[in-house]
Amino acid sequence: MNLQEHNNLFKYLFIAVAVIIATSSLVVSNYLIEDLSREERQKIELWAEAMRIAASTEDENTDTNIILRILSGNETVPVILCDVDDNVMYHMNIDMKDVQDSALYLKKKVIAFKKNHDAIEIDNDAFKQYVYYDDSYTLKRLQIYPFIQLGVLTIFILTSFLALLSTKKAEQNKVWVGLSKETAHQLGTPISSLMAWTEYMKLKDPDSSIAREMDKDVERLQIVADRFSKIGSMPDPDLHEFKEVVTNSINYLQNRISKKVSFSFNFPEEDIYVNLNNSLFSWVIENLTKNAVDAMEGKGSINYTITKSNGTIFLDISDTGKGIPKSRFKTVFSPGFTTKARGWGLGLSLTKRIIESYHNGKIYVKSSEIGVGTTFRIELKAAKQQS
């Protein structure tokens, strides 16, 4: 399992735990709401029975004080007592302040109470009455509470998740910078030694083709060391002719790539200028070219197309490789993503960093089809040629 898969697994576990916590909270709150709702129902049923007894009994053995205590004991649940025609006879715990038409207001309340709870019937020998009630203010707040709790929990989880991602990104950046600086430092000594040896070979045999080729490779190593040394800093961009930069970046690779790979170029005739760091941008072209060669398994064609529109330069690099599934268009740029058995999965991640962080541009998978090929697109802001 690579680094990207580990990160994805951690994200899924984090989300799963968050969902479990949120669901558990909603379930517990729902049980509490149901229990309180049942208690309020029983309380109003007792209140209705007390009303029935108070209205119908003439038994001297009835304890009037207990009946009155039951009737006055309800201080939280809104109640309306109606006759069979839903004419309001009595109400309690209903705020009537600033109500101009109390009869109409209570009629609307009866309709609303009917929707919330079944009526409680008071059945006397002489008459029938109905008790309508609503949830208490406490129960209503408790019903809203799970949603508030869920909202707060969601905000907390999102904040924690973003903070975690920010921390991981900062750690990755430190690793990038540390690894790059150390690599540049370690390359310095062998490069200096190789430069001395090539100069010695030239003195022995000025026409040596081996010395000339070694010179090219040593120069190449110097470029690589320079690239690594620039990671972590913000190198100043210079004005360059874009077609020349792309062509020079590919020239070195062409002689070191399988002859079964063909290169084609679709460039405009006009000169196109852009501000960039030549060393780092060449690294991008080389990474994308090497990835294309790997995707084609050393056999196929790579096309480089440059276009310009509304002040933006577009560079499309297309190959005839195995393609990328659409679900992986974004993850291909994540650290650790690789399809090679021995790859570290850093090439495209580094490429994205160079384009976005150092050149304020964009890079993405423009299109891809399995078994047909892939096109990566780079977008950069065009610059004006200095006069």
Mean predicted confidence (pLDDT) in 176-184: 68
Q: What pLDDT digit, counting tens, does each position of 210-246 carry?
A: 877 787 777 777 777 776 776 666 667 889 999 999 9
Predicted pLDDT at 111 = 92
Predicted pLDDT at 315 = 96
Predicted pLDDT at 67 = 78
Mean predicted confidence (pLDDT) in 36-61: 81
Q: What pLDDT digit, counting tens, does each position of 243-293 carry?
A: 999 998 888 788 778 889 999 999 999 999 999 988 889 889 988 998 899
In the chain, % of residues over pLDDT 90 = 28
List Cβ<8 Å contacts ≥24 apart for 240-244: 240/273, 240/274, 240/275, 240/276, 240/278, 241/271, 241/272, 241/273, 242/272, 242/273, 242/274, 242/306, 242/313, 242/315, 242/380, 243/267, 243/268, 243/271, 243/272, 243/306
Predicted pLDDT at 153 = 76
Better pLDDT: 251 or 157: 251
- Residue 161 scores a pLDDT above 80: no
Predicted pLDDT at 185 = 64
Q: What pLDDT digit, counting tens, does each position of 351-381 carry?
A: 888 899 888 999 999 999 999 999 999 999 9
On whether the CB atoms of residues 18 and 157 are closer than 8 A, the answer is yes
Going by pLDDT thresholds of 50, 70 and 90, the confidence category of residue 147 is confident
Which domains, from first to last, does the chain contain? 3-135 (no CATH), 235-383 (3.30.565.10)
- Residue 107 scores a pLDDT above 80: yes
- Residue 86 scores a pLDDT above 80: yes
Mean predicted confidence (pLDDT) in 92-116: 90
- Residue 347 scores a pLDDT above 60: yes
Predicted pLDDT at 158 = 81
Lowest mean pLDDT among 7-21, 125-139, 289-303: 7-21
Going by pLDDT thresholds of 50, 70 and 90, the confidence category of residue 110 is very high
On whether the CB atoms of residues 281 and 359 are closer than 8 A, the answer is yes
- Residue 340 scores a pLDDT above 60: no
Mean predicted confidence (pLDDT) in 129-135: 92
- Residue 345 scores a pLDDT above 60: no
Predicted pLDDT at 344 = 41
Better pLDDT: 8 or 28: 28
In Å, what is the CA distance from 355 to each residue of 27, 113, 256, 375? Answer: 49, 64, 25, 16
User: What does the DSSP 8-state code read for residue 270?
Assistant: S
Going by pLDDT thresholds of 50, 70 and 90, the confidence category of residue 176 is low
Going by pLDDT thresholds of 50, 70 and 90, the confidence category of residue 341 is very low
Q: Shortest CA distance to 119 belongs to which of 176, 67, 48?
A: 48
- Average pLDDT for the chain: 82
How, if at all, do strands 120-123 and 238-241 pair?
A: unpaired
Better pLDDT: 182 or 194: 194
Going by pLDDT thresholds of 50, 70 and 90, the confidence category of residue 342 is very low
- Residue 206 scores a pLDDT above 80: no
